[in-house]
Structure 1
Amino acid sequence: MRVGRIGRGACGLVLAVTLAGLAASAEAQPVSADAQKAFEDANAHYYKGEYELAARTYAQILSDEKLEDPVLYNNLGDASFRAGAYGSAILYYRRGLQLEPDGPVAQSLQNNLEVARRVLQDRYRSGADKSQFIYAEPGGLLYQLTHLVSVTTLIVLFLSTWWLALGLAALRRWRPGLRGLGAAAIPVLVLAVLFGSVLGGRVYTDNTFRLGVVVEDRVTLREGPNVDAQGVDVPEGMEVRIVDGDAAWTKVELSNGRRGWVETSEVKQI
């Protein structure tokens, strides 16, 4: 895939020449001709300064094609940023980083994320303290260890070492002349168990510690799930832990431990 970076101010759009090339980075998911045209249209809207329309088009591609791709999330985040939807931009940059924690696209995502947070720091006069927008990594060390690489990488590592261990064990049993090689099955099996444990921990933390982002301005964290309940304002772009909720209200926890309710439309899960 040929990728070019086009700088527009602090953020940069990452353009794939074709959506098929983009999908190749997303485990070669097939895309339709309509999606290809929509992707090109979204890029054109972006260059014309039609950022809201570009963002809607990128989002429609994600929805219609069921794509999970860091490049597309970066483009969607950048278009949202330029449309003034800073909370949504942070949401999409974080989603992209979950898919690709390392690499050139991850660097672009991280840089753009920092820019969006700085804009909101200035808006809410938080000075150099951007920590109010970041939910301290839930689950502590377990969360950090299980999120060093993407889920796809963990699956590949686990399956590769598992089948390699089985193959080496078979050699040890059926090819006596290769017993020395077969002895390597034990350390490889240990690696497979390790990767499997990390993968299991990843699934557990992702299901237990759901993070979200406040995507609307002037959101109130209320003491109960109704508009008459008292509450405090929370800034757009703030990361929260999603505790519970339904179609109308979502219970969240702030990084300082305070809990309350916000309207479900005001917060989106990363």
Structure 2
Amino acid sequence: MRNIVYIIIVLFSTSFYAQNQSLFEQGNKLYNQGKYAEAIDKYKAILATKKHSEALYFNLANAHYKLNNIAPSIYYYEKALQLAPDDKDIKNNLAFAKNMTIDAIDTVPDAGFSKLVKNITNIMSFDNWAKVAVASVILFVLLFLVYYFTYSTFKKRLAFVTSNLFLFSAAISVIIAFHKYNVYKNDNEAIVFAQESTVKNEPNKRSDEVFRLHEGTKVKILDTISNWKKIKLADGKIGWIENEDIKEL
């Protein structure tokens, strides 16, 4: 009975994949024909099945960019970049899309120790930092065994020093991996989808306006109260925006 269920699941998954692959190819064909709206429908049909990839988001963003849909193009480029953070094509196209936005927001640069930590942390993803930690622990154990069983004084010293270096590397890598993961988990960002949105100093419509944002601008979400989101801009400005005006990444 289990074998029959397994076969059914495999066949269903294969059929599902084939259907999505067909939709993806149809979308690409429509895109190449200049039928961008129709291509978007095909790509979104794949997303409706809860399947996604950087290629799907990238093509979806490209189609929106061709139609001058500022917010959706930036949103899907950002989604693609989450899955492929080192992809140069995604970064370049995202830069072009951002040139269409109205809001000119200066980024507050990191300085001193904060900048150093950020630069080191961003060398790799938290998965890769975790892999470095595991590899370092394995090498530490192997070198410690060499130190324990060898009789040569020189080899003992070399194994002892090297093993401790790998132990230190493992500890640092674990710390960085956890820090990178926490930054990633707490880095809740969104894209403004409203053509123009009024940002308030409190989460209600009667409060004073602090500034305005336009479609395509990226914000960081700090808090949520009812149908309002507390946001922060790259230049440090903070305010409250209505949920319906933004789309979370």
User: Shorter-normalised TM-score: what interval?
Assistant: 0.7 to 0.9
Shift, 1:235, TM fit = 1.8
Query: Partners of 2:110 and 2:140 in 1: how far apart?
Result: 34
Query: Partners of 1:63 and 1:151 in 2: how far apart?
Result: 29
Which one of 156, 173, 182 corresponds to residue 131 of structure 2?
A: 156
What does residue 52 of structure 1 align with?
37
Per the alignment, in what secondary structure is the counterpart of residue 252 of structure 1? strand
Query: Partners of 1:136 and 1:98 in 2: how far apart?
Result: 22
Contact 2:121–2:180 (CA<8 Å) still a contact in 1? yes
Query: Partners of 2:37 and 2:212 in 1: how far apart?
Result: 26
Aligned ranges 1:1-270 → 2 under 5 Å = 32-62=17-47, 64-67=49-52, 69-102=53-86, 106-120=87-101, 124=102, 130=104, 132=105, 136=108, 140-141=114-115, 142-173=117-148, 175-176=149-150, 182-183=159-160, 184-231=162-209, 232-245=211-224, 248-270=227-249
One-letter code of the match for 1:199? A
Give the TM-score of the pair, scaled to structure 2.
0.73
Query: Partners of 2:236 and 2:159 in 1: how far apart?
Result: 52
Query: Partners of 2:176 and 2:41 in 1: how far apart?
Result: 36
Structure 2 vs 1, CA of residues 214 and 145 (structure 1 numbering), >3 Å: closer, same or farther?
farther
Shift, 1:198, TM fit = 1.5
> Mind listing any 5+ residue stretches in structure 1 that lack a counterpart?
1-30
Number of aligned residues: 226
One-letter code of the match for 2:93? N
Shift, 1:43, TM fit = 1.3
- Structure 1, 111-120 or 87-96: larger mean CA deviation: 87-96
Query: Partners of 1:238 and 1:80 in 2: how far apart?
Result: 16
Contact 1:70–1:99 (CA<8 Å) still a contact in 2? yes
Per the alignment, in what secondary structure is the counterpart of residue 49 of structure 2? helix
Shift, 1:60, TM fit = 4.7
One-letter code of the match for 2:150? P
Query: Partners of 2:194 and 2:173 in 1: how far apart?
Result: 39
Contact 2:98–2:216 (CA<8 Å) still a contact in 1? yes
Contact 1:85–1:215 (CA<8 Å) still a contact in 2? no
What does residue 3 of structure 1 align with?
none
Contact 2:81–2:91 (CA<8 Å) still a contact in 1? yes
Give the TM-score of the pair, scaled to structure 1.
0.69
Shift, 1:244, TM fit = 0.8
What does residue 20 of structure 1 align with?
none
Shift, 1:66, TM fit = 4.5
Shift, 1:115, TM fit = 0.7
Query: Partners of 1:63 and 1:163 in 2: how far apart?
Result: 43
Q: Which structure has more helix as a fraction of its residues?
A: 2
Per the alignment, in what secondary structure is the counterpart of residue 100 of structure 2? helix
Query: Partners of 2:217 and 2:125 in 1: how far apart?
Result: 23
Query: Partners of 2:228 and 2:41 in 1: how far apart?
Result: 25
Q: Could you report, residue by residue, the CA deviation over 1:88-145 in whole angstroms, capped at 9, with x for unpaired residues?
A: 222332333344333xxx211111111111122xxx3x7xxx5x1x654789524443
What does residue 11 of structure 2 align with?
none
Aligned-residue CA RMSD in angstroms?
3.2
Contact 1:137–1:144 (CA<8 Å) still a contact in 2? no
Shift, 1:234, TM fit = 0.5
One-letter code of the match for 2:223? D
